[in-house]
Amino acid sequence: MSPTLDHARDDVSASSAGGAPFLICFGATLFACAVASLYLDRQVAALLVMFQGGLALPAAFWLERRMGWKRMAADNPLRPLSVQLAMSQIIAFPVVLVVYSLNPGGVPLAMAAIAGGHFLPYAWLQRTRVYVGLAVVVSAGALAVQIMLGAAAFPVVLLLMTASYWVAAPLVYRNAARRRTGGRGQVLLEQDLTPI
């Protein structure tokens, strides 16, 4: 791995808090959906799950900025890849629509499978294996819960996702903080994090 590429990956991590704000906020909206699903019709609950990202995404960007993390360098060669990875779930959304039309109760499983696939490349981009574990736990765990519980799995899959996100959030945050300080315990200057 070239030093320039490692530097660019560190900048991605240092500009996003390792993705922790997104895990925190999406975990919160999934938790709210899990609770709501106990009281709402399954179709309505599934719609909430499908569109909870509309609240979670802006909240995550807000939280990221409130945490005081700097923006990614404009000339970071990984900026386009980072944006594409962030938006990759949208490409899979038609699958969720099909699942909803066939069986709204399967929406959490479909969302978990997409999220698991979405997380895997972040292991490389954010330079942490936490995302590999998160991908496996979310997708395989959701499948196991669905197989074991059948129709009763709806809120449990959402709670599994929430718990997984919230366990991973401090781990990826800590990794990003190390990248932000260069592993030396002192914060790097913003120009130190721009690619060479």
Supply 12's token pair. Answer: 């991605």
pLDDT band at 187 (very low <50, low <70, confident <90, very high): very low
Mean pLDDT over residues 149-174, rounded? Answer: 97
pTM: 0.86
CB burial of 43-81 (b: ≥16 within 10 Å; e: otherwise) equals: eebbbbbbebbeebeebbeebbeeeebeebbeebebbee
pLDDT at site 94: 94
Q: What is the pLDDT of residues 110-131, one digit of tens each?
A: 999 999 999 999 898 888 999 9
**Residue 45 · residue 154 · CB < 8 Å:** yes
Q: How many CA atoms lie within 13 A of 71 on its CB side?
A: 4
Q: What are phi and psi of 74, to 5 degrees?
A: -60, -30
pLDDT at 12 exceeding the cut of 60: yes
Average pLDDT, the chain: 87
- Kindly report, residue by residue over 59-116, the tens digit of the pLDDT: 998 998 888 767 777 777 787 787 788 778 888 999 999 999 999 999 999 999 999 9
Average pLDDT over residues 124-150: 95
182 pLDDT band, cuts 50/70/90, is low
Residue 24 has pLDDT above 90, yes or no: yes
